[in-house]
Chain A
């Protein structure tokens, strides 16, 4: 509960700090300090040292898993603010509001990691989404940004409708919003409630699949990610998406039983479609930003494996995957924002001009591709291991690995541009602090790649 309350408060604080000071970079430091405070408050909650308790009648429940995810999400946001904070300042005029909105998103994330009733799921998703619609349109004078924002808003609200419909049917079937509520046994005639529940779950599945951009509900992703200002795409594609997955897993780990064997059939269809569309389309992109949008769909395909396996290994895996994927993507976007040309050709010759940038980007790309010695390898490893452990789906693993090989193609295209092609990669000014930040982040990515336990031990200690 600490995190939910504090993040909402910090959002308000950020909003008003825009009135007090006109100095944009001060805001960045306030935000960073706020995030540290948030992490501390969440840790106090995790270790039961100090927690605010409000009786929510079972709509929220805070376990180690969710709280630990909060810590990691806040930590990743801190990394994001440190690396790209100065670019948030440049995204538009209302800098204080952007930071405020980011804190509101974090509030949504903390609800999603602790919801125990569908009402809270709905609230969490909305608190998370509405600030994103605004952030997507932050670049007011850019037509593409406006288009993306409107598109996202329309599609998003439509999905919210579907989700509400699902929640209503669920309530009809069980008479409760609680996740673990059993279906009511019908005493008189009427519609069989288990049918209602199945319909409800399918609607919820569609809504959640939309939020994590799983195919065939992914169509908004490339346009929104491409149209939004780069700094905010970075945030949306990483931390927000990971939170979506946590909610997805929370929702279906208790409910997938209701769907029976159909569940795995539907899910394997979605997984294969997501991997196929994400990877194959990414191959043909000319713009690195758009490629990253499709790659984020492809990565979602891998994250869906956690849902498919649904065991302990999968729960550990989704945490590791979220961290590995988020850190690497935040790093790449931080570099991408500095480039004046977002196409692959814009990266030509970066290695000569800024060897540090090129080298760290290479580490991040290798991590996304899942090459050993980087965090991405163990992330993929855990996902696949979780599925193999369940048994019976080795074919799915082999398909996924084929697509992992495809992903090497487009990730390595960036490496080829940076190292092997001649060119004059134009960047905005690169500060020493930025380089140091990137190097530290890259070192951390490698460290996780050697000892994933540094992330996973958080579950147990």
Chain B
């Protein structure tokens, strides 16, 4: 029953949220709902027996689709990430003002319901449902509360992902008619034996959907615009949690079904991912807008995960699992800092900022930790993940690993450059009267920093949590 609660709780509280007229009440309601979801998630994952962690009920008997929800290690980890992210996001942006706050928070909660559904669905049709359900509220969030060019940017984002989803639907339909028992269950899909030649087309149909969502080069062009134009709270969800849908789906819904095709096309995908890493890193160096900088940096990080997925290496896959969680934590931290700066000073341009460390020392310290995590310095959580992933890449091909390694240096360049331009040097007209961040942002960032350091020193809990998924995925190959 736990996964049902995880979906229903945000869904129902979200629907109620539409009817809350008073802004502060809506904020409080959303925060309460998110905290409750977090409690349910932690209790469900760590304190309830595994029998409670799945759910199965008839849904569409004529189609062979059942309402089946299960949680394996990777699901649990991503459910945790989703559950942890939302309260922190609500907390960090607590003072932000939105028109029709009730609807804003309601849509945020609906997004959370969709995300939870994607991570726990074990039936392909159900998975597709949630995949779309997570997208629709985001479309409205970005279009209604976003920046100047929001409508065009969001529409591009929507069309991209929608085309991907439809391709996946064609793939799902094809696989469905190949199953012995005409069922959408994951197990039935897994049992389908396809000739390698048959696998290719269906593999790409699925892969395009996931590649757009991640996004990897050359499917990434929607991403910087969407991240920049969305309200920052939504951007946090997009980059912290939603991109993980793509990686999650590759591990759960792609590689197990098409092992032969995955091997066959591994090289193309790895090369594309690595090209994307370098390309995004180079562009990130040139950015003046903090949001765009983080967006491109995110493409680079995702590229590494996507490349590692196809190296067929156990260590690499462990790295991806850890990094999925860590990237979520780190990137949300960076967005919180960016949002704090923008809310207070009204600009995100590096060229207009400077000397903020004197005015806001606490923010500076917290950002530096987050920045170190973004570069994957030892003792931060990202170090262990990236180390394992590069290990996997190295065992696949030493040259590719070496080229991908350049992106680490580039990451240091753009991240430290950002830190320097924002916090050091002389104060500018804009930053002259800046003050330090208020309590709620501090609290959110401190929680994140604690997670960053704790998982950096002792990553074992994450490795243990996702052990079974790694084992099952590697055993299937």
Give the interface of A toward B (CB within 8 A): 366, 371-373, 381, 384-385, 388-389, 391, 394, 397-398, 401-402, 404-405, 408-409, 412, 416, 419-420, 451-453, 456
B170 pairs with A397, CB closer than 8 A:
yes
A409 pairs with B166, CB closer than 8 A:
no
B158 within 8 A of A: yes
Interface centre among B143, B158, B162, B205 (most CB of A within 10 A): B162
7 A-B pairs with C-beta separation under 8 A: A372-B128, A384-B169, A385-B176, A385-B177, A391-B177, A394-B174, A420-B143
B151 within 8 A of A: yes
CA of A373 to CA of B135, assembled, Å: 12
CA of A419 to CA of B107, assembled, Å: 14
B140 pairs with A419, CB closer than 8 A:
yes
Interface string of B155-187 (1 = CB under 8 A from A): 100110011001101100110110000000000
Q: Smallest CB-CB separation from A459: which chain B residue?
A: B62
B163 pairs with A373, CB closer than 8 A:
no
Hey, which chain A residues are within 8 Å of B268, CB to CB?
A: none
CA of A412 to CA of B140, assembled, Å: 11
A361 CB, nearest partner CB in chain B, Å:
14
B201 within 8 A of A: yes
Tell me which of B60, B163, B166 contacts A451 (CB under 8 A): B60
B458 within 8 A of A: no
CA of A452 to CA of B65, assembled, Å: 12
Hey, which chain A residues are within 8 Å of B62, CB to CB?
A: 453, 456
Hey, which chain A residues are within 8 Å of B98, CB to CB?
A: none
B136 within 8 A of A: yes
CA of A394 to CA of B129, assembled, Å: 21
A388 pairs with B174, CB closer than 8 A:
yes
CA of A58 to CA of B391, assembled, Å: 77
CA of A371 to CA of B136, assembled, Å: 9
Hey, which chain B residues are within 8 Å of A394, CB to CB?
A: 170, 174, 201
Question: How large, as a class, is the contact surface on chain B?
Answer: 20 to 34
CA of A171 to CA of B61, assembled, Å: 44
CA of A134 to CA of B200, assembled, Å: 55
Q: Smallest CB-CB separation from B168: which chain A residue?
A: A401
Closest 8 CB pairs of A and B: A401-B166, A372-B132, A405-B163, A388-B173, A372-B129, A420-B143, A420-B151, A397-B170
A272 CB, nearest partner CB in chain B, Å:
16
Given contacts A381-B173, A452-B60, 7 further A-B contacts (CB under 8 A): A373-B132, A373-B133, A385-B177, A394-B174, A404-B166, A453-B60, A456-B62
B144 within 8 A of A: yes
CA of A215 to CA of B205, assembled, Å: 28
B173 pairs with A405, CB closer than 8 A:
no
Interface string of B110-152 (1 = CB under 8 A from A): 0000000000000000001100110010001001100000110
Given A385-B173, A388-B177, verify A405-B159 contact (CB < 8 Å). Answer: yes
Hey, which chain A residues are within 8 Å of B170, CB to CB?
A: 384, 388, 394, 397-398, 401
A384 CB, nearest partner CB in chain B, Å:
6
Q: Smallest CB-CB separation from A370: which chain B residue?
A: B166
Q: Smallest CB-CB separation from A316: which chain B residue?
A: B62
CA of A401 to CA of B60, assembled, Å: 23
CA of A391 to CA of B201, assembled, Å: 14
Hey, which chain B residues are within 8 Å of A456, CB to CB?
A: 62
Hey, which chain A residues are within 8 Å of B133, CB to CB?
A: 372-373
CA of A350 to CA of B205, assembled, Å: 38
Q: Smallest CB-CB separation from A457: which chain B residue?
A: B62
Q: Smallest CB-CB separation from B146: which chain A residue?
A: A420
B201 pairs with A409, CB closer than 8 A:
no
Q: Smallest CB-CB separation from A416: which chain B residue?
A: B151
CA of A452 to CA of B170, assembled, Å: 20
Hey, which chain B residues are within 8 Å of A391, CB to CB?
A: 177
CA of A215 to CA of B440, assembled, Å: 61
Tell me which of B132, B150, B155, B201 contacts A371 (CB under 8 A): B132
Given A372-B128, A388-B174, A416-B151, verify A398-B167 contact (CB < 8 Å). Answer: yes
CA of A412 to CA of B60, assembled, Å: 29
Hey, which chain A residues are within 8 Å of B177, CB to CB?
A: 385, 388-389, 391
CA of A420 to CA of B136, assembled, Å: 15
Interface string of B248-265 (1 = CB under 8 A from A): 000000000000000000
B107 CB, nearest partner CB in chain A, Å:
12
A386 CB, nearest partner CB in chain B, Å:
10
Q: Smallest CB-CB separation from A401: which chain B residue?
A: B166
